[in-house]
Chains A and B, each alone.
Chain A
Amino acid sequence: MEYVSIKNLSFSYKTTNLFNDLDLQLNPGNIYGLLGINGVGKTTLLKLLLGLLFPQKGQIMAFNYIPSQRNPGYLSKVFLLPEEVSLPSISDSEYIKSYATFYPSFSSTLLQHCLSEFDMPRKTRLDKLSLGQKKKFLLSFGIACGASLLALDEPTNGMDIPSKSIFRKIIAETMHEKRTIIISTHQVKDMESLIDPIIILHNSHIIFSATLAQVSQQFHMRRSSSPLKDKEENLIHGETTVGAYWSVWKGGETEGKSINLEVLFNAIIANPNAFKELSDEK
């Protein structure tokens, strides 16, 4: 089976050490959520996966290619939607004519479907589009490329509210067992029904990598109107949000309660050791 693997990866910029002996495996058929605080290296990790940056130590293999070699065969299987999108001063049809030929699995039908779902204006100069529209266009193009690895960096930034739900719908619709999607985001609310498994980068390491089902088996969350008065035995984390108090507890619950990703993320960052076992299991 084709997959992406990172072994003992170390990478640093001149003054910032980002990764130390980082290991990660991405399996096809999953939409990974890459989470982490600002500056932890989420974008850098995506760039390393795609071959835009080269590892200083360790190895990355993806679909039997070494990304840093930027082999055309590999590049035709991957697509990056960057956080800051810059498109040339040409029309959408000119863009498609220019770049579609580089991707052997490109589907014009799928592109038209995605563009119409997003209600994108046609025959407009791409550089004149708003940030959200640029992202919608490029995302549609990336999906139509038939990329096996789709890396999306803050994809919903700049998108309006209806577009965010269309985004989720399109991603879910076009997902298939041979495709791997990795989404780096701070907007976890936009992604709650979409991303699974979750990968959390913190202090140069991946401190958490597990599916939400695994989380539910070993932890549960409670929402109450006020903070707990006493420290209780299985309580891992508690935080006050607008109008509610959330707590994270050891021990799974049989009731299928949904997980608040924001609270889970904060709990893992605040108390990584409590979740270490779960990550090690993987």
Chain B
Amino acid sequence: MKNNLSLNRICSLGKSDFILHWKELCLSSGIVAVILLVYTIIITASFLDTHSAANIYNVRINYDDLFKNVLFIWGIVQASYSFRELHDKSKNEQYLLLPASPLEKLIVRFVFTSVVLPFLIIVLITLISIAGEIILIATKSVSTLQPFNPFSWSTLKFIGILIIIQSIFSYGSAYFKKNHLLKTIFSAILLGVITTLILSGIIARVFHLNYLRIILFSSNNFGDLSSTFPYSANTLSWRRPLGIIWTIFTYGVILPTSWFLTWLKIKKTQSSDGI
């Protein structure tokens, strides 16, 4: 038997997860679909009550934003419960004794939260946008001609960003025993504040002491920064390399570190109940 990675076992894990959770998934998808469909119809219908059908193109149900909001909320909630068995006394023994390696268990949950779920939401939003159009045509004889485009760059880019955020929440689900979502949010904020303060301190120390004072105490109108911050003229030219560094940092450090720590947690988790 292959020690840590077998496609057969990964498929079996996926299959068993599906059998165990397909009802919950269908129920959540149904609830979200109904809410979004009703929302779409109400927005469009209320516009038509006060405007003529000729202005229907002004209806702005931005399916891109709708998709991002749904994916963000559902994505992090799902990720923060992805390893809930580890801390559930009634389930953790069976989960830990399931003949598959921690890596395989990690891959299956990763694929579900970061690939299957976005795909499911894309399908859901596409169907809702089409259904919304059909209902409008059937009831009001108009069409906004604004169905959701799942292949737009902003959609794909957002999925990429969400994968990083989800990796942090997945670690939170493996690390925290209870209230995974809230504790992960709180920890991420705390970590963000501490990191910002440290980085600001370093920047202030390296470049100019007044820079920190500006960040902390001044309003948005900084005026002419060149007198207090001699490097400000170059700020715009730094944005692109900083963006690249940030992307490399998130995909190259945060993502693998989060998944590595999650893997380690699955590997090292022991059965919690006792004598």
Contacts and interface: CB of A to CB of B under 8 A. Distances in A.
B91 interface: yes
Given A50-B97, A73-B1, A13 B274 contact: yes
B64 interface: no
B2 to A, nearest CB: 8
Interface string A77-105: 01110101010101000100111011110
A44 B275 contact: yes
A231 B98 CA distance: 56
| Number of chain A interface residues as a range | 35 or more
Interface in A19-63: 39-41, 43-44, 47, 50-54
Contacts of A39: 275
Interface residues of B, number: 29
Interface in A95-127: 97-99, 101-104
A52 B93 contact: yes
Contacts of A40: 275
Contact of A102 (B12, B267, B270): B12
Contacts of B6: 72
A236 interface: no
Contact of A75 (B4, B91, B97): B97
A16 B20 CA distance: 37
Nearest to B88: A86
A78 B97 CA distance: 8
A65 B77 CA distance: 37
Interface string B193-230: 00000000000000000000000000000000000000
A52 B275 contact: no
Contact of B1 (A84, A97, A104): A104
B275 A18 contact: yes
A213 B12 CA distance: 45
Given A44-B275, A50-B97, A78-B97, A70 B12 contact: no
Interface in A136-180: none
B270 A41 contact: no
Contacts of B97: 50-52, 70, 75, 78-80
Interface of A: 13, 16, 18, 39-41, 43-44, 47, 50-54, 70-73, 75-76, 78-80, 82, 84, 86, 88, 90, 94, 97-99, 101-104
5 contacts: A18-B275, A70-B102, A73-B3, A75-B98, A80-B93
Given A44-B275, A72-B100, A102-B12, 19 more contacts: A40-B275, A41-B275, A43-B274, A47-B271, A70-B96, A70-B101, A70-B102, A72-B6, A72-B104, A73-B1, A76-B1, A76-B99, A80-B97, A86-B94, A98-B16, A99-B16, A99-B98, A101-B12, A102-B9
